[in-house]
Amino acid sequence: SQQGEEDPQALSIQEGENATMNCSYKTSINNLQWYRQNSGRGLVHLILIRSNEREKHSGRLRVTLDTSKKSSSLLITASRAADTASYFCATDPRAGGTSYGKLTFGQGTILTVHP
Amino acid sequence: NAGVTQTPKFQVLKTGQSMTLQCAQDMNHEYMSWYRQDPGMGLRLIHYSVGAGITDQGEVPNGYNVSRSTTEDFPLRLLSAAPSQTSVYFCASRPTSRYEQYFGPGTRLTVT
């Protein structure tokens, strides 16, 4: 079963606008990661936030984590047409403090940025 | 570095045929994984390995077999293909020192 649930399933915005995607999960985690997938391609890692962190920034990306609500959000600021892709959250479970890389993915958000 | 490579890119099988999807990485990563992605869904873990000679099952292992004789290679075997195995298959790897995974370009498999 999917650990993460993402919403919205699809998001359509204009260039220059901000895009926010949300992810909820069910069990305790070691960390949460966001990946991007361009159509027909493999996934590319964007950003990782550990369970003891609340917010992280990387360029135009901002991710937040609320472990009490088991939720995370990804904000892309000043979107560009090149940001058009599917975005997935993935949780890395806590397993006695050791992570073996058994990621569990959400179903993804399809982002379309119109020029 | 080539990163994570997968072959073939596309494959069509008939029900009952067997085949091996190849995955190789040249980054000396200990951890490797196989995922499948079905339309409108995220990736689901099939099998994973934490080093040569060590493999374990993921969420959807039935109908698939893996082995890991070297650090570089992690092939996925379909024992007797079924239409339900029509999917896009991704291989990924990561080093023990970091959590983020590196994905291959995928193999699109159709079983008729």
Which DSSP state fits A81? G
Which DSSP state fits B98? -
Interatomic CA distance for residues A64 and A9, integer angstroms: 19
Average pLDDT over residues B99-107: 96
pLDDT of residue B39: 85
Cα B53 to its chain centre, rounded Å, is: 16
| Token couple for A96 | 């006695």
Across A66-80, B11-25, B30-44, least confident range = B30-44
Confidence of residue A1 (pLDDT cuts 50, 70, 90): very low
Q: Looking at the predicted structure, is the pLDDT value of residue B112 above 90? A: yes
B65-93: per-residue pLDDT in tens?
999 999 999 999 999 999 999 999 999 99
Which DSSP state fits B58? -
Question: Does the distance separating the beta carbons of A4 and B42 come in below 8 Å?
Answer: yes
pLDDT of residue A98: 58
Question: Does the distance separating the beta carbons of B45 and A102 come in below 8 Å?
Answer: yes
Q: Looking at the predicted structure, is the pLDDT value of residue A103 above 70? A: yes
| Token couple for A44 | 């590319």
Q: Are B3 and B26 in contact (CB under 8 A)?
A: yes
Average pLDDT over residues A69-90: 97
Which DSSP state fits B30? S
Q: At A4, phi and psi to the nearest 5?
A: -100, 140
From chain B, pick out residues whose CB is under 8 angstroms from the CB of A35: 103
Task: List residues in chain A touching B: CB distance below 8 A.
Answer: 1-2, 4, 30-31, 33, 35, 40-45, 48, 88, 90, 92, 99-108
CA-based end-to-end distance of chain A: 36
